[in-house]
Every structure is written in C-alpha cells, then in structure tokens.
Amino acid sequence: MNRQTTGFSEKSSAQVVAASFAGTPDVRLKQVMTSLVEHLHAFVKDIEPTEEEWQQAVDFLTATGHMCDSTRQEFVLLSDVLGVSMLVDAINNRKSADATDTTVLGPFHMVESPRRELGADISLDGNGESCVFAGQVRSSDGTPLAGAWVDVWQANGAGFYDVQQPGIQPERNLRGLFLTDEEGRFWLRTVVPRYYPIPDDGPVGQLLTATERHPNRPAHIHVIAEAAGHASLVTHVFVEGSPYLDSDTVFGVKETLIRPVVTIDDPLRAERYGVPAPSDSWNSTSFWIECSHEP
C-alpha cells in the first residue's frame, strides 16, 4: 500500500520518505529501510553534493556492478576497503570473546578445498619458501577437538591465488581440507605466502588511488575451523614481519593472529612432520585454534 508522500522538503525529507515504508509487513525490512533513509539523507545533507557529484556517485556504483562476475566481486572489495566487512564480522562474533579471533572470509574462497591427508603438501607449484603449517583445534575450554575440519587456502610465494592465475597455477593449488587427529592436531606442508594487492584495476582501485591508499594485504593463510557442537570459525594466520601488517587495506589484522615462521630445529618435530632437521630449508608456523561452544 502506498503511503502519503506529501510535505517533502529539505528539512522533512527523511521523515517523509521513512513514513512511506510504514506499511512494510516484514518488520526487519521496515527497520532496515527506515534506518537507511535516515542515515542516507543525513549523509547527503552533510556533504551537500552538486548534481554532478551525485551523478559521479551513481556512475561509480554502476561501474562497481559492471565489474562483478563469477570470479570477481567488486562490491565485496568495496565493503572490504570501507571496513564494513570487518565491522559485520565484529558484530557477528561478539559471543566468541574466549575463542580465537575471527577475520574476513575474503573473496578467494570461491572453490571447494580438496580433502587431503594430514602432512600433505598443498603447494602444487612449489612457488615459495617451504613451510610446515601445524596447529591444534580446541574447544574454548581447552579440550582438544578430534575430527574437526580445518579448511586452508592461501596465495603462493608470488602473492597470487590459483583462481587468479588459471593455466599458470595448477587447479586447487594451495588449498586443502584436513581432519584433525585424536589430539585435535593438524599439520600440512605448504609455502610461506607473500603479501598481495587486492584486485585494483576497477573502481575500488581508482578510489584507493584517488585517496592515496595502497591496495595491499599482509601475508596470511586463510583458515576455517569447524567442529561438532561448536561455532565455526573463519580467520587468518598472519606472517610475522610481513609488510603491511600495520596497514592492511581491508582492516583484517588482529595482533592475536600474527605468528612467526621459524626454522625447524627440533628433530622430534621434524620427524613428526616428515621433514629433515635441523634444516635451513624447512620452516614452520603454528596456530592453535579455539572454537567456542555453539550458543
């Protein structure tokens, strides 16, 4: 049902437009539209755009939409560089204060990770410095979680994901789905990822250039941990010492998620991971993941 829309003025605009949604049957949609109108009108009143500037805004959003396809999501990038993705993550993970910190999923989890055995090498192109990635999945009360799924994906030593380089990198390079052992542990072979720029050849890249912001993310490994009876956890492990840890363009870094990559010099650990030690050529990084009980 259309509501009365008279009485529109610069002063009353938000009130009049919000009232047009008063009959919305879906309570959540009504709340969202009312708040959107109030904040959007306040924003426009704050910046007082010229008509040319408003057209520029429309053109920017149009170009952002045109840049989207099955392998490129420019709106997600826009949400990321404006910090909205991290804000939504923060709002939705307040309950797990005692669990491992979460961070953004990112745009590269677009293919399913292949199931791999513990200890498998996920680097199919060998591009990068060899590394063991190991850890344990625990409940937030400390109990090890056997049979938990750990989904891992990352860029190679040149800073590219497999889906960005079809025909250059093997399919499913640097992706793997692992099941933790009876002690909740997981380990795999990989390479140390490099920092990388988010795709910056579209409108979001132009925005970063115009505002003199760089497009880079510090080196990281993506992880999703899932265990029965527990909230699933989406996070990253950041490589200590990587450039851009203090200026991630999507605001994803949390201090608690930074880990050093160290040379494996303990023969027992090397034996467990099946790599030579002491060795200059094998490094490792460890990550203990704590999942909170399902609310």
Cβ pair 13, 41 in contact under 8 A: yes
Rounding to the nearest 10 degrees, give the CA dihedral for residues 202, 208, 211, 213. Answer: -160
Residue nearest to Fe ion (CB): 106
Q: Which stretch binds Fe ion (CB under 5 A): 21-29, 41-49, 64-72, 101-109?
A: 101-109
Q: How far apart are CA 218 and CA 93, in angstroms?
A: 23
Number of residues that bind Fe ion (CB under 5 A): 1
Cβ distance to Fe ion smaller for residue 127 or 292 = 127
Of 27-35, 72-80, 102-110, 278-286, which part binds Fe ion (CB under 5 A)? 102-110
Q: Please say which residue, 214 or 272, places its beta carbon nearer to Fe ion.
A: 214
Q: How far is 256 from 239, CA to CA, in rounded Å?
A: 12
Query: What is the C-alpha separation between 295 and 292, in angstroms, rounded?
Result: 8
Smallest separation, CB 154 to Fe ion (Å): 7
**DSSP letter at 273?**
H
Tell me: cis bond preceding 267? Omega within 30 of 0 counts: no
Where does this chain touch Fe ion (CB under 5 A) — which range of 74-82, 106-114, 262-270, 272-280? 106-114
- Contact predicate 267/256, CB 8 Å: no
Q: Which of 5-13, 58-66, 98-106, 163-171 is the region at the interface with Fe ion (rule: CB under 5 A)?
A: 98-106
CB of 215 to Fe ion, least distance (A): 13
Q: Which two tokens stand for residue 165?
A: 């380089």
Of 85, 89, 96, 106, the residue at the interface with Fe ion (CB under 5 A) is 106
Q: Please, what is the minimum distance in Å from the beta carbon of residue 105 to Fe ion?
A: 9
Residue closer to Fe ion, measured from CB, 106 or 176: 106
Which pair of tokens denotes residue 115? Answer: 């199931």
Tell me which stretch binds Fe ion (CB under 5 A): 9-17, 49-57, 100-108, 241-249. 100-108
Q: Which is nearer to Fe ion, 184 or 215 (CB)?
A: 215
Q: Rule CB under 5 A: is residue 107 a binding residue for Fe ion?
A: no
- Identify each DSSP E strand in 140-226 by its residue range: 149-154, 175-179, 185-191, 196-197, 216-217, 220-226
Contact positions toward Fe ion, by CB under 5 A?
106
